[in-house]
């Protein structure tokens, strides 16, 4: 049985265990019945991440089931990965997908803590991340960190600084898409079910012309349910407004309630059993 066919068979088994027909799952997930049918038949080889997330949520999969479901759609690792050549005829976003899909669902995040610092110049200076994960397959030794730039930040000017339990093996800069992919190696190969914790920082540097735009938001996302998430931000100078923002798979950003800063000009978002999606803050000056 081919790789897409095995993944499709898993989707069909999970759907039936949930007691849903293809039509039922289409209604509850927002994914078309035609797409569900194509996935189950193995006709769609590289479904969009948001599509898989929507299906996992609609079938109410447990965190471990979600991770294994996502991993079923990963592509086998490319031989000689450090010298990986991605098909130049693909768009940059397709190249990024091809590069990172081998790690899709290869691990489950147990908890993650993000903290970003905004300096007196209103610019993001440091983002620190602490992660604890569990391997979903034998031999897990590399994870990927995808950093997106915006109109104020050039992703190629971001610096990855390992702090504990990891090292930077390579980076790939996609300047047209303003995306940088960091290949992060773990200190040892993990067997299925083993846990590991690591920590790193991402530093922002001015562009070549010496400019670094004002920061206006910070958000974190995950492909499957995470036991706990902490997203925090610290300001040297208080912004005019600070608001929670989130994005569900396949949906637009939602701008939620305003959040007060504490006496140290910090705010934190703490979530337990957070569903797939993105969570964080946006602010104005």
**What residues of the chain score a pLDDT lower than 50?**
81
| DSSP letter, residue 37 | H
pLDDT of residue 125: 83
From CA 130, how far away is CA 142, in angstroms rounded?
16
From CA 19, how far away is CA 36, in angstroms rounded?
15
Residue partners of 176: CB distance under 8 A and separation at least 6? 92
Looking at the structure, do residues 112 and 240 belong to the same domain, yes or no?
yes
pLDDT of residue 236: 96
| Domain boundary residue, one of 40, 70, 102 | 102
Looking at the structure, do residues 91 and 153 belong to the same domain, yes or no?
no
CATH code, domain with 136: 2.60.40.3140
Looking at the structure, do residues 112 and 97 belong to the same domain, yes or no?
no
From CA 109, how far away is CA 275, in angstroms rounded?
12
pLDDT digits (tens, 9 = 90+) for 91-134: 888 888 877 888 888 999 999 999 999 999 888 889 999 999 99
Count structural domains, the chain. 2
Looking at the structure, do residues 131 and 92 belong to the same domain, yes or no?
no
pLDDT of residue 212: 62
Query: Residue-wise over 67-103: b if at least 16 C-beta within 10 A, else e?
Result: bbbbbbbbbeeeeeeeebeeeeeeeeeebbbbbbbbb
Say what the pTM is: 0.86
pLDDT of residue 82: 52
Range of the domain at 40: 3-78+87-102
- CB-based contact 228:258 (threshold 8 Å): no
CATH code, domain with 59: 1.10.260.40
Looking at the structure, do residues 269 and 194 belong to the same domain, yes or no?
yes
pLDDT of residue 91: 84
Looking at the structure, do residues 151 and 268 belong to the same domain, yes or no?
yes
What stretches of the chain adopt beta strand conformation (E)? 107-118, 124-135, 140-148, 158-164, 167-174, 179-190, 195-204, 217-222, 226-235, 241-247, 253-258, 266-274, 277-284
């Amino acid at each position: 049985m081919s790789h897409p066919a095995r993944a499709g068979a898993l989707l069909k088994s999970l759907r039936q265990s949930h007691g849903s027909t293809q039509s039922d799952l289409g209604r509850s997930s927002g994914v078309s019945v035609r797409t569900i049918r194509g996935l189950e038949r193995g006709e769609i080889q590289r479904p969009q991440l948001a599509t898989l997330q929507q299906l996992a949520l609609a079938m109410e999969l447990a965190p471990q089931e979600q991770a294994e479901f996502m991993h079923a759609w990963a592509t086998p690792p490319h031989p000689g990965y450090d010298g990986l050549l991605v098909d130049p005829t693909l768009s940059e976003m397709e190249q990024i997908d091809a590069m990172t899909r081998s790690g899709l669902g290869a691990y489950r995040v147990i908890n993650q803590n993000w903290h970003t610092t905004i300096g007196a110049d209103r610019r993001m200076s440091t983002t620190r991340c602490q992660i604890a994960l569990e391997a979903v397959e034998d031999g897990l030794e590399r994870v990927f960190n995808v950093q997106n730039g915006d109109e104020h930040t050039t992703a190629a000017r971001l610096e990855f600084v390992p702090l504990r339990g990891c090292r930077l093996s390579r980076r790939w800069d996609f300047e047209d898409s303003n995306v940088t992919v960091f290949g992060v190696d773990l200190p040892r190969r993990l067997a299925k079910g083993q846990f590991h914790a690591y920590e790193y920082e991402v530093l922002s540097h001015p562009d070549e012309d010496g400019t670094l735009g004002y920061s206006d938001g910070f958000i974190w996302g995950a492909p499957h349910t995470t036991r706990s998430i902490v997203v925090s931000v610290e300001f040297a100078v208080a912004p005019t407004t600070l608001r929670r923002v989130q994005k569900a798979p396949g949906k637009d950003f939602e701008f939620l309630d305003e959040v007060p800063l504490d006496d140290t000009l910090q705010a934190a978002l703490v979530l337990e059993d957070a569903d797939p999606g993105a969570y964080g803050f946006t602010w104005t000056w």
